[in-house]
Amino acid sequence: MPLLLPPLHRVRALGRPPVRALMNLRELVSSLNDFASPALAESWDNVGLLVEPSPPHTVNTLFLTNDLTEEVMEEAVQKKADLILSYHPPIFAPLKRVTWKTWKERLVVRALENRIGIYSPHTAYDAIPHGVNNWLTKGLGTCTSVPLHPSTAPSSPAEGTHRVEFCADAEHLDAVLSKIKDIPQISCLTTLPARVEGEEQTRVSLNCSQKALLEVVALLSQNSLLYHKTEILLLQKPLLPHTGMGRLCTLSEPLSLAATVERIKGHLQLPHVRLALGAGRTLESPVKKVALCAGSGSSVLKGTEADLYLTGEMSHHDVLDAVANGISVILCEHSNTERGFLSELRDALTIHLQNKINVIVSEKDRDPLQVA
């Protein structure tokens, strides 16, 4: 008869927490980049791994925060974090020195002293289909949404903004190719035999940048025969589905503005929001289309036709413009439109990282503004 464990031992065996494997920092950063490619971030942004302890660096605990303040940094140290994922990049303007003088310099010092890396995704998380803006749409109830500014595939085409194609006869071919090869930012240069108006010629195709295009056209225009046989194509990158900045949401059923405000307050767990009524609108006016952008939405929302703009903050004059156009505006303060996403992100990353490491959310992170 097989030996059975006493019930107490069996309970202990079943009750053990799952054994988590550690992850090398570079392996983890690669996985985070797969979750949301840094190439989707805005060009002005500073995303990716910002602070790296000397390798090898092993990560057991990934610590999530919206803003990395000094208070949050001390929390991360106390909780033995190995990597901080800060939605907002704590290093944005270049640092000329790392001393104890300013709070952002002190963040870097404390991180390196405690062998903690810092990673920031920021606007890459705004763009992805499973990111911050998608989470914000859930506060509206059932709706369909599309990006206000769709993202394009970052690696297609690989090189150049334009393709130039022309045909040349044997008399001119070598001289033209020689001069083209001297022009910087030319790529994918190919030649193929072609028959044009009964004559044997060579079809030349190349990719080039906007700047190089001007030089190529200037070169070809020196020979009227070449110039008249030239085709210029704009290389457009394909749009990525459901990916991009901001969202335009169409509600399945119209809601009153008052009811919409209450839904948003509930989703963001806020007792108050700021509301500007669009010209000719009341709290009972129906809301069918909502344009939203987490954080600071002025540049993303501007010019969009909607019943309501939802964002964290907008300039005074941009609010006036929206109101004059009959668009109501709800402002929730910048990080209040982002922070709630962290709980959803924790669960998503736990699955994405195959439960290999602990993923925790800061308890000290909060919006700096409050209603007094």
Annotated binding site for a divalent metal cation: 88, 126, 334, 338
Residue 107: strand, helix, or coil:
helix
Task: Give the angle subtended at the CA of 335 by the CAs of 334 and 337, to the nearest 5°.
Answer: 85
Residue 32 token pair: 């985070």
Q: Is the dihedral of CA 25, 349, 366, 77 positive or negative?
A: negative
Q: What is the DSSP letter of 6?
A: P
DSSP per position, 128-178? STTSHHHHHHGGG-SEEEE-SEEEE-TTSSSS-SEEEEEEE-HHHHHHHHH
Q: Is 54 exposed, middle or buried (0-12, 13-18, 19+ CB in 10 A)?
A: exposed
Q: Residues annotated in the binding site, as ranges?
A: 88, 126, 334, 338
Is 35 in contact with 131 (CB distance < 8 Å)?
no
Task: Give the angle subtended at the CA of 30 by the CAs of 121 and 365, to the nearest 5°.
Answer: 35
- 48: which residues sit within 8 A by CB, 6+ positions away? 29, 33, 38, 119, 120
